[in-house]
Structure 1
Amino acid sequence: MNRWKLTYVSVAGIAAVAVLTGPTATGAAAVSPHAPHAPGAAATAAPRPTLTAKATVSSVRAWQQFRMYGVSHHMRTGTRVTLQQKQGKRWVSLPASVNTTRSATYNMRVKLGLKGRNALRIVGGGAISPVVNVTVR
């Protein structure tokens, strides 16, 4: 008879622990037949925003105008993108920025005065474009 009392106490203890801890991830999926998606689907995140960047020229005279253009992916229309230039070891934002268009593109006018090889990139919406090099002579 003691054996039955021990079994009853064990089952009651397991049930109490289950009630106190709540349903687990697998238990919740098994209990709810109307789950909106599979349990592993919640781990997938939205795609990261990206930017491309190209210059219309590879070499210009000082203060000669050229254009930087590219495409944004996984960003809202109208996201502000800004031109950055590498000065020493730091990236410095230049006063050149535009909003992305409805077709997810951007096109900005640029004039540079620092002679030599200039490393440029576009930032905005949590994305950073690859580096584009333009030589100013």
Structure 2
Amino acid sequence: MAITKRYSLRIAAVGVISAASVVLAGTVASAATPAASGATVVKATAAKAGITAKPSVTSVKAWELFRVTGTATGLKPGSKMVLQQKQGAKWVSLPASVPLNAKGSYSLGVKLGIKGKNDLRIVSGSTASPVFNVTVR
């Protein structure tokens, strides 16, 4: 009889500890998940990448230096900002590039030699700025 009493006491103690563990685990789980505790869940949406570009002039002499400045959103600082020129039906990357600074802006010095109206844009990866024009005379 003494053995069964100790045995049943041990089973009861294990049962109490198990129940406490389940309650404690449930409390920890509800604290870890904001939705379960009634807190508002805010989903982080990735900002869509975008680039702006503005030339310092709209008309230059051949090989005259001008600047293209702008900002970029959704791109990492240090991303390579490349100037492209439309030649026929193709966009051609020119040997003019600059890294995006920590504030998300850039300034690029440019010299063009193809006379006439030049369609240009700034590209970084698959993100491109709207097309802007500079006339070389």
Fold agreement, TM-score > 0.5: yes
Superposed, 1:48-59 pairs within 5 Å as 48-59=48-59
Note the aligned Cα RMSD (angstroms): 2.1
**Aligned-partner Cα distance in 2 for 1:126–1:76:** 13
Moved runs in structure 1, 4+ residues, more than 3 A?
32-37
| Cα-to-partner distance string for 1:100-130 (whole Å, 9 max, x where unaligned) | 1111100011000000000000000431000
Identity of aligned residues (%): 48
Q: Where does structure 2 lack aligned partners over 5 or more consecutive residues?
A: 1-28, 36-41
Matching residue of 2:133: 133
CA displacement, residues 70-127 of structure 1 (integer Å, 9 cap, x when unaligned) = 0011111111110000000000000000001111100011000000000000000431
Could you tell me which residue of structure 1 aligns to residue 72 of structure 2? 72
* Structure 2 length-normalised TM: 0.68
Tell me the TM-score normalised to structure 1 length: 0.68
Alignment coverage as a number of residue pairs: 104
Are 2:95 and 1:95 equivalent residues in the alignment? Answer: yes
Deviations 1:4-55 (A, max 9, x none): xxxxxxxxxxxxxxxxxxxxxxxxxxxx855466xxx87x752221100000
Q: Say which one has the larger Rg.
A: 2
Unaligned runs of 5+ in 1: 1-31
Match of 1:22 in 2: none
Matched, 1:124 2:130: no
Cα pair 1:49 1:125 within 8 Å, conserved: no
Q: Secondary structure at the match of 1:113?
A: coil
